[in-house]
Every structure is written in C-alpha cells, then in structure tokens.
Chains A and B, each alone.
Chain A
Amino acid sequence: MNEMTKIETTLKDWETDQEVRWCPGCGDYAILKAVQRTLPQLGADPKNTVFVSGIGCSSRFPYYMETYGFHTIHGRAPAFATGIKLANPDLDVWLVTGDGDGLSIGGNHMMHVLRRNVNMQIMLFNNEIYGLTKGQYSPTSREHTRSPSTPLGSVDHPANPCAFALGSGARFVGRGIDVSKNLPDVLTAAHAHQGAAFIEIFQNCIVYNKDVFDDFAKPKGAEQQQLWLAHGEPMLFGSDKTGGVKGLRLNTQAFAFEVVDVADGDWQAAGVQVHDATNRMLAHMLVELPFGDFPMPLGVIYDDPAPTYEAAVHAEKERASAGKDASLAHLLAKGQTWTVSGTASDPV
C-alpha cells in the first residue's frame, strides 16, 4: 500500500466540519495541523485513508479528519486496525494513540501490532499524563510525578515508548515534537515505510502537565538539546551561536556514546558517528541515551523495512486456496459418508 495514484488535495480538504474540542493551546492542535499539512504533500487520497484511535484526548483525532475514521475503545485501536488491514490491505491506515491508551491499557496490542508488522502509521502522543480523566500520572510519567492519584509523587519507573517499540520488533521508530517544524518530515518517512511505523510525538498537555518537555522542546536552547537524526548524516547538534557544535562519538572500548566538541565543522576529525537508520543495535543505543548527559534523539531513529503481516497472510491464503475445490456442497459432504435409500420413517 501507500503506492497508489497521488491525489491533489489541500489542507482544507482534510478538515471536517466538526468543532475541535481540545483545550486551547493543547499540543494536539499542532499535530493535527502537521498531519493535515503532510497528507496533501504525500498525495494521499482521503477516501482510502482511515484514522483509527482508542480512547483519550489524542483519540478524538479521527473526528477532525475528513477521511474514514473509527474512534474505538480504550487501548484496542491496534487490534481494530489489524482487522481493517487484513480485510483491505489497500487502505492507508493511521493509528492515533497516547501514552495511557497505547502503553498502559493497550500495551499488549501495541506490542503485537509492532511484532506482526502490520503496515500502518502509529502516532503515539506522549504527554506523560492522563489528560481526559483529569491528570493522573501515566506509564511514561517520570518518577515523583505528583498527580491526583499520586499526591506524594509517583514511585514507579516510566516506560520508554521508543525502546518498547524496538523491543517489540518495530521496523520503524521515529520521534517528533508537536510544534516542531520537522514533524511532517518524520510523518512522511513513516508513511513511506512499508510496515508498522511507530512515531512518538512529545505533546504538551498545557492543563495537567504543562511544559514537561521544556528541557529539550522549548525553542530557546533547542539546538543544544535536540539531536535530529538523518540517515547517512553525522550525529551533530548545537551551533556556534549556542555554545558550540557538538557530536556523538562511539567509544568502542566502553561501548557507549560520548559527547565531543566539533571544531571548525570537522566532525570527521572529532570522530562523530554517522547515523545508519538500518542499524538496529545503533537504534537501541539511541533510544536509551539518558537525556541530560545527552541531547534528545529525534527524527527517524530506525527504518529498516521487512515483509508485512497482511502481505504474508494474503500470500498464505492464496497458496492454500490455489487449485482447491471451494464448493460448499462438497465441503459439507466431506469425510466418511453413507447413503440411506428407501422410504422415510422416523420413529422415536
């Protein structure tokens, strides 16, 4: 899929007549616009596009997209989307979920849709909080998060969405930020990827978890804190204006990354690592980089396609059906049968 005839559309063609009901200033608005801006660029066809979501603030997304849309139940969107893709592999399916929907109640389904590699784009809006239920801590909330359900601060360790996705067997892992101008590029790469494409989008919940990503997401100082990855490009961040260009170098003795200064743009001299999006081990290292000591890796972290589930299912079905007799009458009369002749009578 995703290779159909390109359709000419504009952003307006993707908007519904429904009033958007997110809180004013919510990061979801920015993501909605980024998606509506990206789809025309992809030449996507609204009638072949399906947005499937679970439950939560993010999952209201389909109501605002002038496509086919299915707002399902909490955590189960990957299962619905799997059924849709198996029934009609030609549909272009986008799955919208959040950190609670996708990693808590729906963690199991997320794992399986990724391991099966069903061809779809999975956007996980991570705001590290339960928004729609009024602010409880979520599976991605950092330790000591105070919330109505954890008034003394949470004590459990957060899940790392991208590490979870890789661990589940995802063949595409990307990261973006709601308001980032680079988000459409990540969405475009995810759409081009044949298979389950997992995108974690840091999304600012301005009511219950305001600015929780400011350490790296706020525009001021962003260059020093964001590492935008590109396949075949050196892992560079920062600039001369913001305290100098830096890069990541692999210390092969320690088998760990270290931050190095890059002088005069000569990253080769500094030994800076070149990103290889098809290198799974590298992807594992990148998603595990502790923020603070390191910048936040963003963009396309991993992109190495493998055959999709629905293609395998359909190929198997075709193989198994080839040359087979599909007559129902024959099927019913299969096995050892016997014929009764003579007159009917049916005593009890």
Chain B
Amino acid sequence: MATQTAEAQPDTQVQDSMVVRFAGDSGDGMQLTGGQFTLSTALAGNDLATFPDFPAEIRAPQGTLFGVSAFQINFGSRQINTAGDAPDVLVAMNPAALKVNLASLKPGGLIIADSGAFTKRNLEKAHYDANPLEDGSLAKFDLLAFDISERTIEAVKPFGLGNKDALRSKNMWTLGLALWMFDRPREPLHEWLKDKFKSKPEIADANIAALDAGHAYGETAELSGPLKQVHMPARPVEPGLYRTITGAESVSLGLVAGAQLAELPMFFGGYPITPASAILHHLARLKEFDVTTFQAEDEIAAICAAIGASYAGQLGVTSSSGPGIALKTEAMGLGIMVELPLVIVNSQRGGPSTGLPTKTEQSDLYQAVYGRNGDAPLPVIAARSPADAFDVAIEACRIATQYMTPVMLLTDGYIANAAEPWKVPDPSAYEPFPATFLEGLPEGEEFLPYKRDAKGARPWVKPGTPGLMHRVGGIEKHETTGNIDYSPANHQRMTELRRDKIAGIDVPDQEVSWGDGTGDLVVVGWGSTYGPIKQAVNRWIEKGAKVSHVHVRHIWPLPQNLGELLSGFKHVLMPEMNTGQFKTLLRDQYLIDAESLTKTSGQPFQIAELEEAIGRCLDEKCGGRIRTNEDQLPNPVGVEQ
C-alpha cells in the first residue's frame, strides 16, 4: 500500500495510511498488544485491517525463530482493505522477531527494538553472528534501539514485582510508546487493564505504570532521533455506531441473527480445530439467545448431533476447518438425502491433510461444491471479509431453512482472525424468514413426507406432532412417501429433484464490485481475496485501464447473470489461493477462457502482486502463478536455517 507523506511538519507527520507490525516471542503478548492497539486505532476513527500471525506451537521454545508471534495492522484515514503489503514500522521485541520480520520491512522503514533482549544467548538462538543493532547491517532502515526491558523493570519497581513478572509488562510499555507515536489517548487502556486485572489490582497498576512510562518515553525521546509523532486523521465514513469485529465473531453473531430471523432455537455442534474453534467459544457464551452448544467427541458426532437437532426442529449448525469438514462429509450426504436444514461453516486453512493449521488458503472449494459421494449438491456461499461474514451467515440460515438443505459457508483463517471496523447493523432492517413446521393435514389428505412446495422443499415435521409419524434415512426413498425405493425410475427422478432444488435457489444477481460492466479485463474473486483485488483493480482504473472487479458470494448455485456478465469482458483473470478451483468451475459452467492466477504459499495476495498480474493480463499475458516470496509475511515455513 502506498504511503503518502503530506506536508511534513517539523516533528509531526500527517499520513493517510500506515502499516505497523508488532513482533516478539510467543510469550511476549504481541497478539494482546496488537489487539489493544487495534481498538485504540478504531476509537480514533481510522479504517483498519489486521493480520494476526502466530506459530502453530502453543509455547514454542523461547527466543527461537519458529516461536515468533506477530500482529500486523494497516490503518489510515482512507479506506483500508488489506493488512498491508509491507510494514512501515516494525517493533521487534527480540533478535528472532527482527530476523523473521526484517525482510518484509519497507526500505527506510522504522525499527523499534528492545536492545535489552539482544543478549548473546538470544542472538545465538536467532542465528545471528553479530548484534545487528550494532554492526551497521540495518543502515538502510531507521533504527531506534533502547532497553525496553530495563525501562519496564524500572517503571514497575514500586509495585514490588520480581524481574520475571515485571518483564511481563514489556508489551504494555511498548503499547504505551505506540499510543504516543500515533497520538492516542491512554484512558481506554487504563480502563481495560483495571477491568482485566480486577482481582489483582497490583498487576493492573504495574501494567498501567509500564504503559504510561512507554508513553512518557516517546514524549521525551521525540527530540533525539527517528521517533516522530504521526497524526492520522479519522477516516470520513457513514455516520453511525461502529465496533471492531473479527470473522469468527461476525460468523457467530450472524448465526444468532439468522436463527432469530428463522424464529428457531440454534443447536451448534463443534469439535476443537484451528482456526474454527473461536466460533464454538463465542456461541458457548450466548445461551440466553436460545443457543445450545455441544462440544462433541469428534467432528462426525458434531455434525450428526446438529442434524439430529434439526430433525427435532431446531436450526442445526456445525463448524470446522478442512480436515474436520472431510470427516463430516458422509453426514452431509445424509443431510442432503433427508433434506433437513443445516449450516456448515468451513474456516479454510492450508491443506491437504493437517497442512498449515494457522495459515490461510481457499483450497476447499472443490470439497465444498463437489466433495461428497453420489450426486450430492448443496449450496455454497463465501464471506469476503470479517464484516461481510455477518450477512453471509444470515444468508446461509435463510437458504438452509427455506430450502430444507445443508448449506456450506466458506470463510478462511485470514477472515476468522482478522479484525476490521464494522458499522453495527440494525437487526430489524433484516427481512425475517420464519421457518414453518407441518403440524397437520386437512381431513382425508394423505401425509407425504417428500411432497415438495414451489421451491422444491419438503415439509419439516417435528417428532411429537400427532398423526405425522414417518421414517427418514439415507437409503433412496420414494418421491413422495419417503419409503425405501430403489427402483430405477425413482432414483433417476430423485437425483434430478435434489439437483433442481439446489439449482433453483433464489440467488441475487451478481453485481460488479468495482469498475464498469464491460471492459478489457474482469478480475473475478471470491472469499478473502476481496481486499487486495479491490485495491489492485482500483490502481489500474486510476491509470485509465478498462478493468473491473467481480467478487462472487454465491459459489453454488451461481448468480443467474454471472455468465453473461463475464462475457462482456475480453479477459477474465481469477486470482485464488489455490490451484484454480473456482476457475475450473466457471470454465465448466460458462465455457469461458478464464485465466487462473494462483498462490498457494499460505500467504494472502499482496496488492502489488495483483497489480503486476493485471498489467500482464492487459498486455495479453494472462494468468500464471505468483512467484514465491520468501520475504512476505506470514512466512509459514519460518526462516529455520
């Protein structure tokens, strides 16, 4: 993302966006620091996008390269769609954090390093032969190195903590400095610390002292070197109430809203898996919204219990990530066969198998659309950002209950963990879609459990309803009675009915996200690539190119007008964090010459990468694969040497 410096004043800069990366050891509290900095950024009225980047190991050995945890935030006084290609500021709490993150820092960027953590032992663990803070190797950057550890110990001395406990406040000291740098008030952080350490006021006081000391250090050190206060004006946005939201929160709230709009209690069956567990955690605290959460013995039991609850008249929901979704596959087939509502959330991560548990990918599209035995169609929809996930979750609940079908909602590790500001919606603005249960029949009418309505949906009958006892199951069943029926004509007919029901789902027409409805090139994306595609396309539009951005929410069935829309462009470029799965689907559906742009390094697309690929496409050299960039963060393989 281009950073423009406008009218630099002596000690204050005004910038319209900035990328800051906090990096430290897993135990240094970088995610907490990043999270609180995000909140203060949001409260200051900046737009923002974050990228938490942490190791798969819970407590990796201290000081090691693979134990580095980082949190990146891109914020500004204009619209922000990605967490930023490269940081302007890198906060490095130890040598390993510096080593892992340095390559991505912009030339001339600012390094803030805790020199107190650059001990001989830590330098060795990070495979440094010499201290980079002293050997001149960082000359192309602005370097601000000082002993944060010592200053923290000094600041919290009056509270009688031992050195080990005192050093735990290092992250608050650093946060204090960051708050000063961006001219942010400390009071909300004071309040937050007091609340967090309610039962241990001395710890709260120590952390507040560390925060204040970091802030004060900025004030006094300002005169001496590269440290300058940056003023970032608020971004003008639609008036209203705002909060920050992560994808996991957004999906959870969307599911609660969806269940309310369907007027159903929600049953959520889950099993712990990264990065999907956060949804289970959120919903477990929302019992007052008539939500039952069930941590099952495995992924299979989680979905089966959810289907059982749907059978009994609730809205069954299950959630997982790729490997867990694979385990649920057979049960999805049953859900399709017995035609009961079910929402399946897949927070995608790098695969196959265990793959990259904490890194992002969108490689489960085939699995979502095609990945079941038999002809087993189900609707698939994808969220493009944390905030968007709220509406997408509601849409999933609508389709599931209105069409009596399992629905797959795709998000990914990036969306699940990333945060962005969210204009709090008014729930009453959403059209309710109350579920209906069949409770009886006119005198003399025969009950047919598989008789369909105009939408192709069969009736939903709760066990306990008098006179409507019936049997459902996974064996092929008769078109209307639902009794076992293997006959050739019936199976042919039922296969077609199941296909047509899904194909006939009412999907809104596809809109062009950015640019004109016709042109030289359309960049078609889905899921979390929305931000970088939008920015890259916009840069070309500004240069006068006839480029548009189409971002598809409804992966299956596709919007009715999509084929025609795409035919209005000379080239179709499809960036995906997989080997071209949605590209294959669109080629199959529309026989169009869609070109794939792939990236499967566990890292999101960078705007610059897409900008370059669009340029090539306009130059008649469409498609290809993004060259692996060892310098981009996150770097899933780490820099083990």
Contact = CB atoms under 8 A, between A and B. Distances in A.
A83 B45 contact: no
Contacts of A48: 463-464
Contact of A339 (B242, B308, B469, B472): B242
Interface in B509-560: 534-535, 538
Interface string B325-354: 000001101100010000000000000000
A86 B287 contact: no
Given A48-B463, A83-B306, A87-B313, A71 B427 contact: no
Contacts of B67: none
A346 B239 CA distance: 11
B309 A71 contact: no
B473 A88 contact: no
B297 A112 contact: yes
A16 B244 CA distance: 56
Size bracket of the B interface: 35 or more
A67 B313 contact: no
B464 A91 contact: yes
B239 A47 contact: no
A68 B242 CA distance: 48
B307 interface: yes
A141 B314 CA distance: 40
A332 interface: yes
B312 A91 contact: yes
B37 interface: no
A320 B287 CA distance: 6
A30 B502 CA distance: 43
Given A86-B305, A326-B288, A71 B475 contact: yes
Interface string B33-50: 000000100110100000
B474 interface: yes
B243 A336 contact: yes
Contacts of B310: 83
Given A70-B472, A81-B308, A328-B427, A76 B300 contact: yes
B426 interface: yes
A141 to B, nearest CB: 25
Interface stretch (B123-131, B253-261, B623-631): B253-261
A46 B469 contact: yes
A12 interface: no
Interface string B162-185: 000000000000000000000000
A109 B42 CA distance: 46
Interface in B229-254: 234, 236-244, 253
Interface string A68-88: 111111101011111110111
Contacts of B228: none
A154 B299 CA distance: 31
Residue of A48, A316, A321, A328 most packed against chain B (CB within 10 A): A328
A83 B269 contact: yes
A108 interface: yes
Residue of B286, B300, B425, B462 most packed against chain A (CB within 10 A): B300
Given A73-B474, A325-B288, A332-B425, A50 B463 contact: yes
A338 B243 CA distance: 6
A341 interface: yes
Given A336-B243, A337-B243, A68 B292 contact: no
Chain B interface mostly helix, strand, loop or mixed?
mixed
B464 A90 contact: yes
Given A63-B471, A108-B297, A112-B297, A83 B237 contact: no
B308 A87 contact: yes
Contacts of A348: 78-79, 534-535, 538
B467 interface: yes
B463 A82 contact: no
Contact of A340 (B242, B297, B302): B242
Contact of B294 (A55, A67, A78, A86): A86
Interface in A283-339: 313, 316-317, 320-321, 324-326, 328-329, 331-339
B463 A344 contact: no
Contacts of B604: none
A80 B311 contact: yes
B292 A82 contact: no
A133 interface: no
B3 interface: no
A66 interface: yes
B424 A337 contact: yes
B267 A83 contact: yes
B296 interface: yes
A232 interface: no
A5 interface: no
A18 interface: yes
B253 A332 contact: yes
B197 interface: no
Contacts of B471: 16, 62-63, 65, 68-71
Given A62-B473, A338-B45, A340-B242, A328 B304 contact: no
Given A91-B312, A324-B288, A331-B289, A112 B427 contact: no
Interface in B483-531: 483-484
A26 to B, nearest CB: 17
Interface in B276-300: 286-290, 292, 294, 296-298, 300
Interface in A225-270: none
Residue of B305, B308, B462, B473 most packed against chain A (CB within 10 A): B308
Nearest to A76: B304
Contacts of A343: 236, 239
B289 A326 contact: yes
Contacts of B468: 47
B39 A109 contact: no
A56 to B, nearest CB: 13
B465 interface: yes
Interface string A94-124: 0000000000000011011000000000000
7 contacts: A68-B471, A69-B471, A71-B475, A72-B473, A86-B308, A91-B312, A332-B424
Among all A-B residue pairs, the 6 with the closest Cβ atoms: A83-B308, A71-B473, A83-B305, A79-B304, A87-B312, A69-B471
Interface of B: 39, 42-43, 45, 78-79, 188, 234, 236-244, 253, 256-257, 260, 265, 267, 269, 286-290, 292, 294, 296-298, 300-302, 304-314, 316, 330-331, 333-334, 338, 424-428, 462-475, 483-484, 534-535, 538
Interface of A: 16, 18, 46-48, 50, 52, 55, 62-63, 65-74, 76, 78-84, 86-88, 90-91, 108-109, 111-112, 313, 316-317, 320-321, 324-326, 328-329, 331-348
